[in-house]
Amino acid sequence: MQKLFTLQNEHLQATFSAQGAELQSLTDRNTGQEYCWQGDPAYWKGRAPILFPIVGGMWNGVCRINGQTYAIPKHGFVRKREWTRVPETRNAPAGNSITFAIENTAEELAIFPWPYHLEVTYSLTSRTLRADLRVHNPSSASTLYFQMGGHPSLLLPDWKAEGQDVQGYLRFEGRPIDLLRASLQGCTEPKRVPIPWSNDIETSNALARHQPVNALVPISVTTFANEALIFDRNQLSAIEVLDLRKQRIARFASSAPVWLVWSPQGQHAPFLCVEPWYGLCDPQEFAGNIEGRPYIQHTAPGDTWAGWYTMEV
């Protein structure tokens, strides 16, 4: 049985599991509305995993570190491990936050040769859930190279099993220009691709005026025909998910240089994931070391790296 922990304020209740330090539920305390996908394996059994020490796939399944090759699972391995709740939080008011921590095991050194100490602090403020991610390097000699990612999911309230094409919209904050596409082995193609903007007048006018913040992308099977929409190059600072009436369901924000929006390929799924990544999967044919993986992060001996994302509903 999973160990579950709950945070709540006057608006929201959030539930987390010790396994993966994963968000399991986010509900409106007044209406009972659930915002998080509940992990139906017919579509995807996950909910909101934390990705470390890599994000995405590796070309030929290989990661090269200090002259050795390692087979690190896609999205890393901490999402499947049991984390420990830390009694005191440092980054949010007591009673309104919760911190989980995890460290490497001796067995993990066979697939990732550096020690680490990870923490995630979840906090609730008004209608916003914030995740603060920290990676501490306990080594006294070696720089720690890694990638980190969030993978929060969102239920689509207007979804219908049949007779529906578009089930909502995406709106981007920042300077969205184009996309990367992952295909073979889950690695990115060299060619960049256009954003699948909506064909409506509102979006056409917004793009003509160079105001992409007012342009929309439909949430549909066609939009995700090639799996995730991948925005790299710090193109985005936030993503809004809108319902069919173009009213906001949720807004995700982060300092991450890469964003993915994912829904199961070829399926009319009742959810999507909006994923801030401090990293990116390998490009196809990649043969470099871990230091050359896209958007690799690092922290010096004894130092701590920090990242974050928020989900406002």
pLDDT at residue 123 tops 90: yes
> What's the CA gap between 226 and 217, in Å, rounded?
15
**Average pLDDT of 132-151?**
97
Inter-CA distances, 200 with 14, 120, 171, 203, 217, Å: 36, 41, 14, 6, 10
pLDDT at residue number 88: 66
pLDDT digits (tens, 9 = 90+) for 243-301: 999 999 999 999 999 999 999 999 999 999 999 999 999 999 999 999 999 999 999 99
Handedness of CA 261, 39, 75, 151 (dihedral sign): positive
**Whole-structure pTM value:** 0.96
CB atoms within 10 A of CB 16: 26
Quick check: 186 and 261 in contact, CB under 8 A? no
pLDDT digits (tens, 9 = 90+) for 23-47: 999 999 999 999 999 999 999 999 9
What is the tens place of the pLDDT at every residue in 160-218?
999 999 999 999 999 999 999 999 999 999 999 999 999 999 999 999 999 999 999 99
- State the pLDDT confidence band at 95, using cuts at 50, 70 and 90: low
Give CA–CA dist 274/154, Å, rounded.
Answer: 8
State yes or no: pLDDT of 139 exceeds 90. Answer: yes
Q: What does the pLDDT read at residue 151?
A: 98
Find, among 115, 107, 114, 113, the residue nearest to 69 by Cα.
Answer: 113
Percent of the chain with pLDDT over 90: 96
- At residue 90 the predicted structure's pLDDT band, cuts being 50, 70 and 90, is low
Give all strands of the β-sheet with 22-28 in edge-to-edge order: 4-8, 12-17, 22-28
Residue 93 or 66, more confident: 66
Nearest residue to 118 (alpha-carbon basis) of 161, 77, 68, 166:
77
**The two three-digit tokens of residue 52, written as one number:** 């470390």
Mean pLDDT confidence for 309-313: 98
Mean pLDDT score, 79-102: 82
Name the pLDDT band for 94 (thresholds 50, 70, 90).
Answer: low
CA–CA separation, 158 vs 271, rounded Å? 10
**What value does the mean pLDDT of the chain take?**
95
